[in-house]
Structure 1
C-alpha cells in the first residue's frame, strides 16, 4: 500500500511514522507513506496556500490551485483508489471503513486547514470525506494519523499475530470482551475461572457472551446494525 498525505505542516506527521507499528510496517516494505508540503506547489513569494473567502466571512480558505497541482502531479504518476479529505463534516470513521480502505493499493489523504478547502476541490478531486468525530481540530493532520494507524494495522504482516486485528472492538459490531493476564490472583482480584480451565470451546463461548453483554451495556447502538 502507498499513502500520500498532502499537508501544510508535514512536521506534525513525521514522528508517528518513525516509531511503533507504523514504522515497522514501512521497514517491512508493507506500506509506503509520503508527505507532500502543499507550499511546494505555490507560485507566490510567501508560499501562500490560503485566501479570503468570496462573500465575506471569518476564516481563511485553502486555495484550489496548489491542491490541484499536487493531486494532478501524483495522479500522473500512478492510479489512486481514493482521494480522501479529512473534514469534520465527513463520514465518521469506523471499523468498516478502516477494513475497506486497508484493502486498497494507493491512497491520497488531503489534510484540511484554516476554514477548510475551496468547495471546488471537494467537487472535482475528492472521492471520500472522512471525519474522526463531531469536533473541530486545527487541521486534518491528527485525523490523518488516526486514519493511517487504523488502516495500516489491518494489513497482513503488520501485526505479529495476524488474527489479533480480527478480534478487536467493532469487528462484527461488537466490543471486545474483558481480557486478563498473569497473575491469576492479584490482591484477591481473580481472573474468571473459565479462562484458566483450558476448555477452549467454552472459553470462546464465554468471550462471545461477554462481548455481547459489554456491547449491550456500553454501546447498544451498535446492536441495532
Structure 2
C-alpha cells in the first residue's frame, strides 16, 4: 500500500454520501447496471440498491468488474422490501417517471436523505413503486427521442444531486459513520484478505488506519490456522 494510494482511498471515503442512493427497479441489462454503478462511484454515493433476480445479479457483478468494489450494493427480494428499508432510514424516494405529477429533476432537493428510483429498460418504474414514491422526476427532452438510456438518465440526475450537495457543503466533512468508514477502509486497502475472510466467513482483522496495513498480520494468520487446523499446530 503506497502512501499515494492510501491517501486517494481516504479522500474518496471522506466524501462518500451515505444518505444518497440509487434503487434500480428490475433493470436487467448488466451493462446498464454496471454503468449506473460507475456513476454512483463517480458522484460520491456509498450505496446502491437493486431489485433483480439473483442469477442476473451474479452476472452483473462479473460485468461491473472493479466498480463493484467501490460502492456497497444491496439486493432486495422485492420493491416493497427495498422501499420499506429505505423509508425506514428516513429517505425520500424520487422516481424517474413520466407522469402527471412529474417535475423537472432540478426542482428536487437532493440534500436531504434520498434515493433515486430508476425503472427497467422497457416498462420504467413499476406502478406500485411509482405510487409509493414521494416525487416523480423527469429530464426535459428537447430532441426527437422521448427518453434517455436508463444509465445516462441516472448519471444526469446524480450530477444535479452532487451539485446541490457540494453547494450545501456536504462533501466538506466525512459523513460515513466510524464503523462503516473503518470497514470500507479495510475492504479497499486489503482486498485479498477481505476475499479470504468472506470465503471462510471470518471476521475482518483490525487495520491500522494510518498505514492501511493489518495491525498484526502474521499473528492473525497464525490464529486463523490454529483455529481451522488445530491438528497441524504444535504445542
- Provide the TM-score with structure 1 as the length reference: 0.45
- Taking CA–CA contacts closer than 8 Å with sequence separation of 6 or more, which of the two structures ends up with the larger relative contact order? 2
Higher helix share: 2
Choose 1 or 2 for highest CA Rg: 1
